[in-house]
Amino acid sequence: MQYEIKGGEMPVVEVYCDPGESMKCQGGGMVWMSDNMKMQTKGGGLGKMFGRALAGENLFQNTYTAVGAPGMIAFGTCFPGSIMAVEIGPGKELICQKSAYLASTAGVELSIAFQRKLGAGFFGGEGFIMQKISGSGTVFLEIDGSAIEYELSAGQKLIIDTGHLAIMDATCTMDIETVKGGAKNMLLGGEGLFNTVVTGPGKVTVQTMPKSALVSTISSMLPNK
């Protein structure tokens, strides 16, 4: 399997498959393909279907296989942003925001990850349930806006504004903290009451324009009826 990420603010990833090779994607992720890519829709059992629904994805996944000859299939984002390709393997699992999963090779598994800390679930901006990416292969992930990566050492912390956490290694932990500087900063600083805190070791990917921030900005410009 080879791939090429194309486009600007609304990118696609074109994947070139050998005969018999398959790709999985969320429903609606395919945007174009060669005519020898054959689709099969699978649920994978009630447990996996329920988990995908909680993780912000469709109940069913589509699998596309190149039949008889090399094939090409393209997957596109549903929101202005970026596509990241990440290699998954033993000891290399990811925790992602809801709806981050776009497509993957057949050996990658999508499941749910629960936030164990009540505060992080209520106030961290990511909710109690996030996506867990495991297995072995290549996964393509959707990022809102541009992606910026940081490598944290053990115990090193990164403070992130609500909604800007996109991906972190499963070795990282997530919590929340109140905005520092007292009540004046919390109430008048315009940054909200809480920030997300990610602690290493591991890689963290932040996104420059979460969907929630863009929607809020556009809504503020619309005339009141």
Q: What is the pLDDT of residues 20-36, one digit of tens each?
A: 999 999 888 899 999 99
Written as one string, the DSSP assignment of 163-207 is: T-EEEEETTSEEEEEEPSS-HHHHHHSSS-SEEEEEESSEEEEEE
Hey, what domains does the chain have and what are their CATH numbers?
A: 2-212 (3.60.160.10)
Q: Which of 98, 106, 90 is nearest to 132 (CA)?
A: 98
Residues 112-119, mean pLDDT to the nearest whole number: 64
pLDDT exceeds 50 at position 184: no
Taking the C-alpha atoms of residue 26 and residue 40, their distance in angstroms, rounded to an integer, is 12
- pTM beyond 0.95, yes or no: no
Record the tokens describing residue 163, joined without a space: 């909604």
Q: Which of 205, 216, 217, 215 is nearest to 100 (CA)?
A: 205
